[in-house]
Structure 1
Amino acid sequence: MPCCHDSCCPDVAASATGKEIARWRRALWAALVINASFFLTEIVAGVLAGSASLQADALDFFGDSANYAISLAVTGMALIWRSRAALFKGMTMLVFALWVLGNTFWHAWAGTLPHAGAMGLIGGLALLANGGVALMLYRFRGGDANMRSVWICSRNDAIGNLAVLLAAFGVFGTGTGWPDIIVACVMGGLGLWGGLQIVRHSIVETGGRNAEVTA
């Protein structure tokens, strides 16, 4: 994890050239369109297939779509506003993660058996999409809290899609819904961890900038 304290975490967006900011905006727009599209696809497929892990992934797509939109809105603003936006994004990630865990427990209690074929097909397409998004955003992973939060979201999405594929194979092989439940729990935990990372980083940045202003 890169150093993110006052003196060793540079204000990347503030020092970026116009060309770099333009690339950042283009990458965010592409990520926003892809995530919004797959949210609609996965939420429908998840409900029809009875898959907790697909629904978990769909809600993650929704949260990331909102996060990318916020990031586009604050690009070029002062670091304090970008850090506050990252804090908001981190909090939304925590809320979505808690929803995912609650929904997963309900599926476990109901004994739902998801459709493995639908899980595998949608999960595979989502992995290809998020893999492309992660590659686009990889170069921005060492930026400020706002840029880093976008990278964490894309990274978590790709890992989550791979996990859905593994769950599909597990459901097919065992004939039970437990692989789907286990993967959904892992994804919920990953969302909690990613949200906490973003919140911590943004609080450090915001606190450091406030200290500079009041000094």
Structure 2
Amino acid sequence: MRALRRASLIVAALNLAYCFVEMGVALAIGSVSLLADSADFLEDTAINLLIVIALGWSLGAQAIAGRAMAGIILVPAAVAAWQVVVKSSDPTPPDVPLLVITAAGAALVNLVSALVLARVRRMSGSLSKAAFLSARNDVIVNLLIIAMALVTAWTASGWPDIVLGAVIVLLAGHAAWEVWEAAGEERLAAKALAGEAVD
């Protein structure tokens, strides 16, 4: 458990630091996908800090924490969904070079986070699974942002950025569902250990 706690603290620090970088650039260039991704860095920070706090809890309490984290994963999805609606009325393309550089930096941070968490992702059920899934999905999102930036440069349109915002919503929703299911399995295991009827 010490390895999981150390890994979670490292990942939380990396995500919190880069959140401010990405959010600042997103606001400066008007990118929906970067803004949603910066909110996602906050989500990753919260998940990893929750892991550190919940490690000493019982299996049942960890299942509850896993369900709470499934909800946390949906926060950036809600941010992205709102920005998709707002930006649709004015689909101005974001600055492509800054978009690519920032997304590449985010991909590096998330790749390092995923590699750190890959070694400990099975150590604490839904807790470590939530953190690993989130970091893994973030690498995919960052690569999609870079690809979208190239399409934006080609089309001179803000619509690729808006479409990617919708994709981020779908990825976050899928990750939240996986974590919710894992937490449900832990809840059933906790009931079985306590000798309660499993419904």
TM-score (norm 1): 0.86
Residues 141-199 of structure 1: CA distance to partner in whole angstroms, max 9, x if unpaired?
A: 33411111111111111111111111111111111111111211111110011011111
Task: Give % identity.
Answer: 25
Query: The residue matched to 2:21 in structure 1 has which SS?
Result: helix
Q: CA deviation at 1:214?
A: 4.3
Distance (whole Å) between structure 2 residues aligned to residue 95 and residue 129 of structure 1? 20
Counterpart of 1:95? 75
User: Which of residues 168, 171, 191 in structure 1 aligns to 2:172?
Assistant: 191
- After TM superposition, what 4+ stretches of structure 1 lie above 2 angstroms from structure 2? 140-143
Question: Any gaps of 5 or more consecutive residues in structure 2?
Answer: none
Counterpart of 1:169? 150
Residues 84-123 of structure 1: CA distance to partner in whole angstroms, max 9, x if unpaired?
A: 1111110111233123112112112222221111110100
Alignment of 1:67 with 2:22, yes or no, is: no
Letter aligned with residue 44 of structure 2: D
Contact 2:33 2:164 in 1 (8 A): yes
Residues 24-72 of structure 1: CA distance to partner in whole angstroms, max 9, x if unpaired?
A: 1221111001100111111111111100000010010011111111011
Contact 2:3 2:120 in 1 (8 A): no
Distance (whole Å) between structure 1 residues aligned to residue 2 and residue 188 of structure 2? 28
Distance (whole Å) between structure 1 residues aligned to residue 117 and residue 190 of structure 2? 25
Q: CA deviation at 1:208?
A: 2.9
Query: The residue matched to 2:157 in structure 1 has which SS?
Result: coil
Contact 1:94 1:196 in 2 (8 A): no
Matching of residues 31-46 of structure 1 within 5 Å: 31-46=11-26
Counterpart of 1:80? 60
Letter aligned with residue 141 of structure 1: R
Counterpart of 2:95? 115
Distance (whole Å) between structure 2 residues aligned to residue 138 and residue 33 of structure 1? 17
TM-score (norm 2): 0.92
